[in-house]
Amino acid sequence: MVKTNPFGRIAKTFVVVTITARVLTWLTNNIHPAQNTHAARPNAHPAGHVPFDRPRFLEGESSLSPGPHVPRLVPRVTRRQAGVFGRSPSPRHGLAPLRAVPEDTRSDEELRTDAGIIPAERIRNFCIIAHIDHGKSTLADRLLENTGSVESREMKAQLLDSMDLERERGITIKLNAARMLYKAKDGHDYVLNLIDTPGHVDFAYEVSRSLAACEGALLVVDAAQGVQAQTLANAYLAINNDLEIIPVLNKIDLPQADPDRIVEEIETTVGIDCSDCILASAKSGIGIEDILEAVVERIPPPQPSADKPLRALIFDSYYDAFRGVIVFFRVVDGVLRPRDKVRFMASGKEYDVTEVGVLTATGEQKVDALMAGEVGYFSASIKAVEDASVGDTIVNARQFAKKPVEQLPGYQPATPMVYCGLFPVDSEQYPLLREALGKLKLNDAALAYEPEVSSAMGFGFRCGFLGLLHMEIVQERLEREYDLDLIVTAPSVVYKVKEKDGTEILVETPSKMPSPPDRNTETLEPYCRMEIITPKEYVGTLMDLAQTRRGDMVDLKFLTPERSMLIYKLPLAEVITDFFDQMKTRSQGYASMEYTVTGWEANQLARLDILINGEIAAPLSTVCHRDQAHDIGKALTSKLKELIPRQQFPVPIQAAIGAKIVASSKIPAVRKDVLAKCYGGDISRKKKLLQKQAKGKKRMKMMGKVNVPQEAFMAVLNVRDEAGKSG
């Protein structure tokens, strides 16, 4: 029997108690509310200064506990433990009694005054809108650099373009927000909340959402290229949102810049006053100070309601693996603090806010509270991605239970223009693809998807996009960010079949289109109004392009003696394939386009099926106009003949509308020389071998399956171009 030393146990217990007492003493001296409130700190921020790095000291709360997952050491000490250490004669072992945290009932203005936060009348929310490559992101870099929002060692080109795809392609894909502190010439400090927006037509929904969170906009126009199609579209969006527009002529240091001509063009085309237009060069830093002063002087401050209950508008979000859904929002009324219980009005779900902060150029920065008129983010450990939707209204759950408030207007849902199928190469990745699409939709509200089953590719999703570029970006983001290997089917638009009794059926996939069309039904397709702005020397070739795509001219305007605007009405199906690329090719890159969907029109449409060895390949089916069926079928069968490998038997490839074959081609069989071993002798021996081979190939053709490579499913992407060349 082993004897134990009781004195050793006593010594160990004494050491543990001593260490525990020292830890509690340190916590008492460093975290006690009486010593750590904002009012008692000698280095409290003076009035007029925004404390970006101010700790979230709340009465009785530890600054070491940012969320519910971190243990709160002090509040969990029991009264018995406090009494034991409180009896010690040494003052180091004393622990002050804990106090309950009272509810903060201060108003918006009182909170701003007590915390030294800049008042709402010195807050400016604005965005930058422009055509592609007119210098939006570069101008945002100069504004951040001039206001000192970014240190020189952290400064880089396109700072707000955080995605790798944005830097690789040189375009802005996502709206990005940044908070700047600017000391104006009047001596006051101002908070400038900047939102950088995309310029491509496929990401116009990002622009519309950012405009709803602002009171003003910088309309940037290239001093050499002038007004482009997206310049007009974005300017009209800003006007419809009743924003204060500040015109900025960028790139004035270019040799070909002509500011006087561009100013006149803006006034004539857009219809806004450019008498106080700002001349600038974002690359060289010219006019940046003038832009900042114009933002302060001309853009109105937000009009918050300090005494009203909380109402906030969600304009963006993303999914974080550790914190859940991170919501970007603008506070319209009231105030939002950590530990508030919020309610999402669309889903009805309630969550406890764990973190509130602002968006800076280098990341997210925690703050004590966000007041009415401010833009920021919050996290609440939201794991269900469908609970936080863009355009939803956030309210305080406790205030809402006492007195319901009116929901904010939000955003109009984006209408997809292009549809395609997304299928995982490995069928086991289907659950991963479903989860990835749900998380990606948080960050890309224009994406729409629903499950789809294909006999050729298995389980996948039918996805809707705003354009071909949007489709490419979503595919690349899914493959890069979620490590998926995907197959993308050919893009198509939605058609409508109208029955004789007036019933309308939406056809989202070509396989659902009746073939051949019933005489008692009417097929409709979406049409769009397209505006093409081009130099006058390319008017003829662009008119020819529009007419070959079944376009009808609406108007021809001369904006200036050197620039024209073509207005056409075209089927959307003719636009979404390669119209943009062909327009850029024919105009040597100078033309720009903008289109809006106008409605549905009846047309002679038919489903063109592709038969491979007598079997319909559903993923290769497409919907086309009857007059183009022969050219498209011929181009498609020729393309498939190049892509499908040769078999042991001849493989016919046919394009058909119903039972009518409109085009065909044949892949010859791989030749096997069965006479190689016959060096001579009777000819009947050779004939017998050839007849035996012919019977075998006939049997293989009846029973054999043709493996179609994945490249063949993308062949219809270039079918319009091939059909145009053959026609």
The answer to whether the annotation marks 470 as part of a ligand binding site is: no
Closest listed residue to residue 59, CA positions, set 342, 371, 368: 368
Cα–Cα dist 458/215, whole Å: 48
The response to whether 618 counts as a known ligand-binding position is: no
Say whether 673 counts as a known binding-site residue: no
Tokens coding 280: 């600038």
Distance of CA 303 to the CA centre of its chain: 29
Q: What's the sign of the alpha-carbon dihedral 60, 63, 66, 68?
A: negative
Q: Give the tokens for residue 31.
A: 């975290």
Question: Is residue 508 within 8 Å of residue 573, measured between CB atoms?
Answer: no
Q: Which amino acid is at 255?
A: P
If one counts every other C-beta atom within 10 angstroms of the C-beta of residue 255, the result is: 5
The verdict on whether residue 4 carries a ligand-binding annotation is no
Residue 445 · residue 439 · CB < 8 Å: no
**Cα dihedral sign for 614, 619, 624, 630?**
negative
- Cβ-based neighbours of 571, under 8 Å, separated by 6 or more: 525, 526, 527, 528, 549, 550, 601, 603
Please, which residues have CB within 8 angstroms of residue 299's CB and are 6 or more apart in sequence?
Answer: 124, 125, 126, 215, 216, 244, 246
Task: State how far the Cα of 326 lies from the Cα of 44, in Å rounded to an integer.
Answer: 30
Does a cis peptide bond (omega within 30 degrees of 0) precede residue 66?
A: no
Give CA 373 to chain center in angstroms: 24
Q: Identify the helix (H) or strand (E) that includes residue 331.
A: strand 324-333
Query: Residue 601, exposed/middle/buried by CB under 10 A (0-12, 13-18, 19+)?
Result: exposed
At 375, which amino acid appears? V
CA angle 139, 143, 149 (to 5 degrees): 140
Q: What is the DSSP string of 417-438?
A: -EEEEEEESSGGGHHHHHHHHH
Confirm or deny that 200 is annotated as ligand binding: yes
Return d(Cα 170, Cα 132) in angstroms, integer.
10
> Which residue matches tokens 């530890």?
62
Among the listed residues 359, 605, 388, the one whose alpha carbon sits nearest the alpha carbon of residue 498: 605
Contacts of 243 (CB under 8 A, 6+ apart): 211, 214, 215, 216, 217
Cβ neighbours of 33 (radius 10 Å): 18
User: Collapsing DSSP states into helix, strand and coil, what is residue 546?
Assistant: helix
Q: Is the Cβ–Cβ distance between 655 and 665 less than 8 Å?
A: no
- Upper half-sphere CA count for residue 547 (Cβ side, 13 Å): 7
Nearest C-alpha neighbor of 722 from the set 605, 618, 624, 609: 624
251 known member of a binding site: yes
* Rounded Cα gap, residues 227 and 557, in angstroms: 14
Give the separation between CA 496 and CA 513, rounded to whole angstroms.
Answer: 9
- Pair 368, 374: CB distance under 8 Å: no
User: Is 686 annotated as contributing to ligand binding?
Assistant: no
Q: Is 581 annotated as a binding residue?
A: no
Residue 152 annotated as lining a ligand binding site: no
Establish whether 705 is an annotated binding residue. Answer: no
Q: Establish whether 197 is an annotated binding residue.
A: yes
The annotation status of 591 as a binding-site residue, yes or no, is: no
CA dihedral (483, 488, 491, 497) positive or negative = negative
Q: Is 199 annotated as a binding residue?
A: yes
137 is in an annotated binding site: yes
Q: 229: helix, coil or strand?
A: helix
- Is 584 labelled a binding residue? no
CA distance 17 to 268: 82
197: β partners: none
Place of tokens 């509040």: 75
Q: Is 439 annotated as a binding residue?
A: no
Pairing type for strands 216-222 and 123-130 reads parallel
Indicate the annotated binding residues for GTP: 130-137, 196-200, 250-253
Indicate the annotated binding residues: 130-137, 196-200, 250-253
